[in-house]
Amino acid sequence: MENQPIIKNPFGININIPQKTIQEIQKVAEKEIQEITVNPFIEYFEENDKVFSGEVAEEIRKYQAQIYTLGQVMREGHPVTTFQATM
């Protein structure tokens, strides 16, 4: 066992990758991971900002008040029909 050669790269793979290539691969990988994980969340919160800030709930309350007021006015001003179709 003492005379066995030390194998650095098994299966005859003796490829040295330049450090610059490794750094470029890391940059691309970091960018892609951010695109996959972080950006969809940011876009979701930006698109739905009005929901989270309460603006949508305020608009709903305004519309409900308008509907209620309109209903009150319509009930108060409901005309009485006087048309009679007798012969």
pLDDT, mean of residues 23-37: 86
Residue matched to tokens 């012969």: 87
DSSP states along 25-76: HHHHHHHHHHHHHHHHHHHHHHHTHHHHHTHHHHHHHHHHHHHHHHHHHHHH
- Predicted confidence at residue 65, as pLDDT, reads 93
Residue matched to tokens 């950006």: 39
Q: Please give the structure tokens belonging to residue 55.
A: 């603006």
Instruction: Report the alpha-carbon distance of residue 68 to residue 64 in Å, rounded.
Output: 6
For the chain, what is the mean pLDDT?
Answer: 78
pLDDT, mean of residues 62-84: 80
How many of the other CB atoms lie within 10 Å of CB of 75? Answer: 8
Inform me whether the pLDDT recorded for 5 exceeds 60.
no
Inform me whether the pLDDT recorded for 4 exceeds 60.
no
pLDDT, mean of residues 24-48: 84
- Predicted confidence at residue 1, as pLDDT, reads 46
- Predicted confidence at residue 21, as pLDDT, reads 86
